[in-house]
Amino acid sequence: VQLQASGGGLVQPGGSLRLSCAASGSIFRIPVMGWFRQAPEKQRELVASTTRVGTTNYADSVKGRFTISRDNAKNTVNLQMDSLKPDDTAVYYCNARVIRSMFSTVESTYWGQGTLVTVSS
């Protein structure tokens, strides 16, 4: 299973960016997809996640500014980031918990390669 993320870049404070991630490979179902981020000298933290049925979870720091969405048919997840702040600067990682076979309930966790988001004037 591979996760390919895209959409990072440099944006001014108050601006917007949209991150996208596509999962491919041996996939039966993806119960949860999400985004994490890691700023310099900080631990990786959950930004947002979404289940197959659309239940979402957001970090308090991004509530009201970020929106996560997914397309189950395409195995993709997006993160719309609005009203960006310098504190949002980090490497953002796509994450997915994948069930690889219809004969299994085992979930395996996969990570994308990371995409850098820099919020600066």
Residue given tokens 């000298």 in the structure block:
41
Please, which residues have CB within 8 angstroms of residue 44's CB and are 6 or more apart in sequence?
A: 36, 37, 38, 93
Q: What is the mean pLDDT of residues 5-23?
A: 97
Confidence of residue 23 (pLDDT cuts 50, 70, 90): very high
| Per-residue model confidence as pLDDT tens digits over 72-111 | 999 999 999 999 999 999 999 999 999 999 898 899 999 9
pLDDT of residue 6: 94
Q: What is the mean pLDDT of residues 22-31?
A: 95
Q: What is the mean pLDDT of residues 3-17?
A: 96
Query: What three-state secondary structure class fits 60?
Result: helix
